[in-house]
């Protein structure tokens, strides 16, 4: 085939055309993940590392991690300088690229689910306390059904004290005591 010389002009620059075949224009060719996708994945792993750094110590101890990653996370917890911490987080992300992050994600999700359940339970107990203070003895039957081992006399006493404090616009010490007692009942019933 004879050499064809074409000249393509783009913004005042002149480039000689090269021989191109159909494969150069094949969009369906699998070239692997794009550079942007690789960056998103690296940032996701870095965010996962940040979540590990921010975990409370009692939960952090239960997560199974390789020794080098655990050392890097421990170091990141001690670093206070912003730039140093940022570089350490990038290093943690790099270490996490070499391991399967799904078990770690699953464990962090389980921790978040526990926290959500605890917050929901906390709000339910607050609502129960508020209902007891507002309604009084009529709501006491529901509480005694829910917690049959509860001390009826002690509950009535706490409710009356909380109502008196509310009526006199005093600080809610009895309401706190009532909440604490309801929380104890809830923990012993589980």
Given the candidates 1.10.10.10, 1.10.3720.10, 1.20.970.10, 1.10.60.30, the CATH classification of the domain at 35-100 is: 1.10.60.30
Contacts of 105 (CB under 8 A, 6+ apart): 48
Say if 35-100 and 119-189 have the same CATH topology: yes
Residue 112, CA distances (Å) to 50, 98, 105, 147, 174 in order: 15, 25, 10, 27, 32
Domain boundaries, given as residue ranges, for the chain:
35-100, 119-189
Bigger pLDDT: 187 vs 189: 187
Tokens 């080098």 belong to residue: 68
Render pLDDT for 152-166 as a digit per residue (tens, 0 to 9).
999 999 999 999 999
Residue 44, CA distances (Å) to 85, 100, 122, 190 in order: 17, 13, 31, 37
Integer Cα distance of 126 and 181 in angstroms = 12
CB 179 within 8 A of CB 126: yes
CB 45 within 8 A of CB 93: yes
Render pLDDT for 22-75 as a digit per residue (tens, 0 to 9).
555 555 556 788 899 988 988 888 889 999 999 999 999 999 999 999 999 999
Fold classification of 119-189 (topology level): Diphtheria Toxin Repressor; domain 2 (1.10.60)
Tokens 């655990």 belong to residue: 70
Render pLDDT for 67-112 as a digit per residue (tens, 0 to 9).
999 999 999 999 999 999 999 999 998 998 888 889 999 999 999 9
Integer Cα distance of 182 and 82 in angstroms = 43
């Amino acid at each position: 085939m004879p050499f064809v010389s074409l000249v393509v002009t783009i913004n005042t620059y002149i480039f000689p055309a090269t021989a191109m075949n159909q494969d150069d224009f094949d969009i369906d060719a699998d070239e692997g993940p794009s550079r942007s996708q690789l960056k998103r994945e690296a940032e996701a792993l870095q965010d996962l590392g940040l979540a590990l750094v921010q975990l409370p110590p009692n939960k952090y101890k239960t997560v199974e991690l390789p020794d080098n990653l655990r050392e890097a996370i421990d170091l990141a917890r001690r670093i206070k300088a912003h730039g140093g911490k940022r570089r350490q987080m990038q290093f943690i992300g790099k270490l996490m690229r070499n391991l399967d992050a799904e078990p770690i994600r699953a464990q962090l999700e389980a921790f978040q689910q526990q926290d959500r359940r605890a917050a929901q339970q906390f709000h339910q107990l607050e609502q129960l306390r508020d209902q007891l203070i507002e309604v009084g003895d009529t709501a006491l039957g529901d509480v005694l059904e829910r917690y049959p081992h509860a001390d009826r006399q002690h509950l009535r006493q706490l409710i009356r004290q909380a109502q008196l404090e509310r009526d006199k616009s005093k600080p809610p010490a009895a309401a706190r005591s009532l909440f604490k007692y309801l929380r104890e009942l809830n923990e012993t019933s589980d």
